[in-house]
Amino acid sequence: MTTVAELPAGFADKVLSAQSTFRSVMEAMARPGSVQRIEAAAAAGAPAPMMRATAAIALTLFDHDTPLWLDQPMSEASDVTKWLKFHTGAPVVQDSSICTFALIGDPRSLVGLDHFAFGSNEYPDRSTTLILQIESLTEGAAVELRGPGIDGTAALQAMVEPADLFARLEINQTLFPRGIDVVLVADDTVVAIPRTTRSVAKGG
Amino acid sequence: MAAIGKSDEQNRRRAAMAVLAQAATAEIAARLDSIAPPAFENLREPENGLVMVRGRIGGDGAPFNLGEATVSRAAVRLATGEVGFGYTLGRDRQKAQLIALCDALAQSKEFAGAVEQQVLTPLRAAMTSVRDRRAAETAATRVDFYTLVRGEG
């Protein structure tokens, strides 16, 4: 019973915080490349090495119907597993090919994208959404993005890890409508790279 | 109803739950106020939800789903680190929080005695007296049936 004694608390105002977080993530998905701030992230505690925005997304989107896969740094921190279990009830699975969300604490050593679920042609939504924690969404190499939700091109300046992320995401082009959606998280900000977004300037 | 294999503390907390779940919110609140509980934070905000109630016919038949019931739950953490959980039937979120607070206080050395004496004991006494009164009222209307043996021969 004392195992939860040190865990950070969840949202102080569950409904409103979850609604505003959902809004931010939806906004990010609708406008790929735009940096969205998760206001509610400050209200929730996050167990290390989880970032605040990751924790807010977890509290908003995860439940017992969303199997999770954690990469090494995340799964080694027992606080993360316990915190997720206590607040979201989401099952943590070892098999990354059946997970709905994958939490990546160290994107540099990200496993191949083919380890994750792409969905099926009938149900392309049954794919994995990768949540990558990176250092910064304001500085770093510039990438130009193109695709639905973007008027012309959108510039994203971020320390994208792994460095060849956009090259790897090119499989989305051939797999469509199946594919992988990515959410980049840095502290309390998020950027979404849905499966329809292509990078143009760099490596594209 | 002491379960086998459970520690004393678990049995104590279980007994406290049995009392608190039956008590009225206002009464728990009034009695808790009298012991001036310390600062606490909501580890899990009080929330409402549904649980599936399962039943067994005759207590040993195959389990079946009887229906859903509304429950409220909460978890609080005292400044000293004790974590208390509260679950109660119905939509009374404040009650779930008060139960969780009592549970946390009952685990802290400093407040355990006060909670037992000033909250649990009076509530338990009130519950028992109501139960006894009902039992007495029912017993007063009891009818005993006798079968008279007729002389058959």
What does the pLDDT average to over A140-167? 90
What φ, ψ does residue B96 adopt, rounded to 5°? -60, -40
Extended strands (E) in chain B: 40-56, 63-78, 83-89
Token duo for residue B123: 């509530």
Give the tens place of pLDDT for each residue, A35-94. Answer: 999 988 877 788 888 999 999 999 999 999 999 999 999 999 888 999 999 899 999 999
Q: Model pTM? A: 0.81
Collapsing DSSP to helix, strand or coil, B16 comes out as helix
Q: Per-10-residue mean pLDDT for chain B, 153 residues long?
A: 67 90 92 88 90 89 93 92 92 94 90 90 93 94 84 65
Q: Chain A contacts of B82, Cβ < 8 Å?
A: 5
How many angstroms away from the CA of A163 is the closest CA of chain B?
A: 38
CA separation (Å) from B85 to A83, A136, B24, B56, B104? 16, 39, 18, 27, 7
What does the pLDDT average to over A158-185? 91
Report the distance separating Cα A110 and Cα A42, nearest Å: 27
Number of structural domains in chain B: 1
CB count, 10 Å around CB of A131?
Answer: 26
B42 and A CB contact within 8 Å: yes
**Considering only CB atoms, which residues of chain A are within 8 Å of chain B?**
1-2, 4-7, 9-14, 86-87
B45 and A CB contact within 8 Å: yes
The separation between CA A22 and the C-alpha centre of its own chain, rounded to angstroms, equals 13
Q: Indicate left, alpha or beta for B36 from its phi (over 0: left) and psi (-120 to 50: alpha).
A: left
Is the CB of B77 less than 8 angstroms away from the CB of A86?
A: no
Residue B125 lies in a domain: yes
Nearest residue of chain A to residue B75 (CA atoms): A9
Helices B93-107 + B8-22 axis angle, to 10 = 150
Residue B138 lies in a domain: no
Residue B144 lies in a domain: no
Look at residue B80 in the predicted model and tell me its pLDDT. Answer: 87
Residue B139 lies in a domain: no
Give the tens place of pLDDT for each residue, B21-48. Answer: 999 999 999 999 888 888 898 888 899 9
Give the tens place of pLDDT for each residue, A75-89. Answer: 998 889 999 998 999
Nearest to B77 among A5, A11, A87 (CB): A5
User: In terms of CATH, what superfamily is A8-199?
Assistant: Bacterial phosphonate metabolism protein PhnH (3.40.50.11310)
CB count, 10 Å around CB of B69?
Answer: 12
CA separation (Å) from B76 to A45, A84, B36, B50, B140? 15, 17, 16, 20, 45
Look at residue A171 in the predicted model and tell me its pLDDT. Answer: 92
Domain that holds residue B114: 8-131
